[in-house]
Amino acid sequence: MDLIALVILLGIAQGLFLGVFLLFTAGPNSRANRFLGVLFICCSLSIIHFFLDRTGLYREYPHLMRTGIPVLFLFGPLFYFYVRILTDRATRLRWVDALHAAPFLLVVLMFLPFFLSGEDVKLQAARDLAHYSTRPEWLAFSAIQILQLFAYMIAVRRILGRYNERIRNTQSSVERINLRWLLIGNNLFFIIFGLMLALIVLQAFGVPTLGVYNLTVPLIVTGVNYGLGFLGLRQPEIFSPAEEAAAFRKYEKSSLTPALAAELARKVEGFMASRRPYLNPELTLPALATQLEIPQHQLSQVINETIGVNFFDFVNGHRVQEAQRLLLDPAKSAFTVLAIAQEAGFNSKSAFNAVFRRQTGQTPSQFRQKSQKSPP
């Protein structure tokens, strides 16, 4: 067994371990984790072929020939349902959702005669593997499978976009619930499947890319198993429940008049200036509504439509103003940027830097340096 085969084998083992772990780990987020667990298992099954081909073990285990092909059509649906449930725990699957498994079942039926064939047929297929992989019908089949994955990745990106919008309308600190690692995973899938599609297209036009395909694809999938596994294990969203953000209300039937909205906006701004609730790094829309004794949907409407920003930017705008005041205060000159961030209501330096730079065009350190150089 060479080094490449060993790496692929380790990737298979990693995916199977993570898959079983997620399938049988109980917790508030276990519904979503089951989909992710099956996805890791499918990733491992999909690259067993490359391991067997590279080591020549197909001759000893011919019954495993092509068994990883149907699971390729489960990648997209599994990732899609995982993200759907993780971002909205109220999601309830319906019978119609079973249609997402239709391509997988169709491919199983297509290959069923081969799966039920004898050992001689499968050994011959193993010997003809290189030739079979370059046939036009197989290239077309592979391209269709990848295009299906692209469609699901686009759907996942849209779900994450809506989730991001929702939490920014109810939360003032989102770095622990923004599911950034899922977006990274989605981007990785785009890159992997794009590379696979490019190699298939080149092969269809006569460029010999089969060797590159057989080398890079299993290594990339192995990397995904390890990379997403590492991100998953260090991100609490996988193994513990993500904070739920209340759905952002639309205001088609709102009874809030422009005059009342303006009055509430003045009340909100006055409360922010006098009571400074933004100093609480865990401030949420429901909590602020309770303090103001204003219905949540009215407060949300006032902030979004009358003041003109979402809740996240509204609260963090006040935090940035507080941070600017502290950075200009001579009594705070010895404070570190992190200490300023925490005193202004931010719960991490990275979030502070990102918000401060987006709202002022410069980092907190640059703002402090410029202010110190300016004449009194």
pLDDT value at residue 277: 96
Is 245 part of any domain?
A: no
68's CB contacts (< 8 A; 6+ apart) are 45, 46, 47, 48, 49
* Helix/strand/coil for 284: strand
Kindly state the DSSP code that residue 292 receives in the 8-state scheme: H
**CATH, residue 23:** 1.20.1070.10
pLDDT of residue 173: 85
What is the C-alpha to C-alpha distance for residues 315 and 203, in angstroms, rounded to an integer? Answer: 54
- Domain membership of residue 246 (yes or no) is no
* CA–CA distance, 87 with 178 (Å, rounded to integer): 10
On whether both 50 and 127 belong to a single domain, the answer is: yes
Q: Which amino acid is at 84?
A: R
Tell me, yes or no, whether 96 and 224 share the same domain: yes
Which residues in the chain land under pLDDT 50? Answer: 235-249
> Does one domain contain both 186 and 59?
yes
- Size (the chain), residues: 376
Residue 114 covered by a domain: yes
Token pair, residue 43, equals: 């990733």
pLDDT at residue 342, rounded to an integer: 93
- Residue 250 has a pLDDT of 56
User: Which amino acid is present at 127?
Assistant: R
Residue 190: both structure tokens together: 């785009």
pLDDT of residue 279: 95
Residue 164 lies in a domain: yes
Name the token pair of 341: 């961030």
Domain shared by 235 and 266, yes or no: no
Whether residue 247 contacts residue 166, with contact meaning beta carbons closer than 8 Å, is answered with yes
- Across the chain, which distance is largest between two alpha carbons, in Å? 90
What was the pLDDT predicted at 262? 93
Burial class (CB in 10 A: 0-12, 13-18, 19+), 270: exposed
DSSP string for 97-144: GGGGGHHHHHHHHHHHHHHTS-HHHHHHHHHTHHHHTTSHHHHHHHHH
Write phi, then psi, for 284 (nearest 5 degrees): -125, 165
The whole-number pLDDT of residue 289 equals 94
- Report the pLDDT value the prediction gives residue 102, as an integer from 0 to 100: 95
- The parent domain of residue 278 ranges over 258-373
Residue 354 inside a domain? The answer is yes
Predicted pLDDT of residue 271: 96
Task: Say whether both 208 and 279 belong to one domain.
Answer: no
Number of domains in the chain: 2
235 and 337 belong to one structural domain: no
- Asked if 200 and 142 touch (Cβ cutoff 8 Å), the reply is yes
Q: For the segment 331-358, what is each residue's pLDDT rounded down to a tens digit? A: 888 899 999 999 999 988 989 999 999 9
Residue type, 32: A
Q: Which of 211, 239, 267 is the last residue of a domain?
A: 239
Q: Could you say which of 180, 211, 239 is where a domain stops?
A: 239
Give the C-alpha separation, 227 to 210, whole Å.
25
Give the pLDDT of residue 53.
79
Nearest to 130 by CA among 49, 197, 73: 49
- What percent of the chain lies above the pLDDT cut of 90? 35
Could you tell me if residue 134 is inside a domain?
Answer: yes
Average pLDDT, the chain: 83
Query: CB–CB of 196/214 below 8 Å?
Result: no
CA distance 74 to 102: 10
Positive/negative CA dihedral, 251, 255, 259, 265: negative
